[in-house]
Amino acid sequence: MNAAIVPWYREVSPTQWKSFWAAWLGYLLDGFDFVIITLVLTEVADEFDLNGVQAATLISAAFVSRWFGGLVLGAIADTLGRRDAMVLAIVTFSLGSLLCAVSTGYVMMFAARLLIGFGMAGEYSASATYVIESWTQHLRNKASAFLISGFSIGGVLVAQVYRFVVPAWGWRALFAIGLVPIVLALWLRRGLPEPEDFRRAKDSGRVDATSDMFTTLYRGPHRILNVLLTLATFAILLAIFGGYVHGAAIITPMSIFITAVFVWFLVQFEPQRWPTAVAVTVVVFTVFFFAWPVTALLPTYLKTDLGLWPGEVSDILFWSGFGTAFGAILAGFTGDRFGTTRAYWGSLLISLPLLWPIFTLTSDHALLIGLLLFVQQCFGAGVGGLVPKCMVSWFSIEKRAAALGFTYNVGALGGAVSPVVGAQLAGRMPLGSALMTLSATFTGVVILLVALKFPLRLQRLIRLSAVRPEDGSDIVTRATSQAV
pLDDT digits (tens, 9 = 90+) for 326-352: 999 999 999 988 888 999 999 999 999
Is 282 inside a domain boundary? yes
Is 10 inside a domain boundary? no
Listed residue (136, 153, 158) closest to 19, CA to CA: 136
Integer Cα distance of 180 and 183 in angstroms: 6
Cβ of 449: how many Cβ atoms within 10 Å? 19
The domain containing residue 382 runs over which residues? Answer: 15-195+210-466
pLDDT of residue 209: 54
Integer Cα distance of 409 and 224 in angstroms: 23
Name the DSSP letter for residue 194. P
Integer Cα distance of 484 and 139 in angstroms: 16
Is 6 inside a domain boundary? no
Is 416 inside a domain boundary? yes
Integer Cα distance of 26 and 24 in angstroms: 5
Integer Cα distance of 1 and 468 in angstroms: 35
Cβ of 339: how many Cβ atoms within 10 Å? 16
The strand ranges marked E within 115-259 are: none
Integer Cα distance of 397 and 392 in angstroms: 8
Integer Cα distance of 426 and 200 in angstroms: 53
In the chain, the amino acid numbered 30 is D
pLDDT of residue 3: 47
Is 305 inside a domain boundary? yes
pLDDT of residue 231: 96
Domain count, the chain: 1
Is 438 inside a domain boundary? yes
In which residue ranges of the chain is pLDDT below 50?
Answer: 1, 3, 479-484
pLDDT of residue 54: 76
pLDDT of residue 55: 78
Is 276 inside a domain boundary? yes
In the chain, the amino acid numbered 37 is I
Listed residue (86, 82, 72, 77) closest to 187, CA to CA: 86
Listed residue (130, 58, 47) closest to 88, CA to CA: 130
DSSP bridge partners of 2: 481
Integer Cα distance of 23 and 90 in angstroms: 10
Integer Cα distance of 326 and 347 in angstroms: 13
pLDDT of residue 484: 33
Is 342 inside a domain boundary? yes
pLDDT of residue 249: 86
pLDDT of residue 223: 94
145 and 90 Cβ atoms separated by less than 8 Å: no
pLDDT of residue 232: 96
Indicate the pTM of the whole model: 0.85
Integer Cα distance of 2 and 11 in angstroms: 12
Say which CATH number the domain at 255 has.
1.20.1250.20
Integer Cα distance of 474 and 456 in angstroms: 12
Listed residue (295, 230, 217, 241) closest to 64, CA to CA: 241
- Backbone phi, then psi, for 81, in 5-degree steps? 135, 155
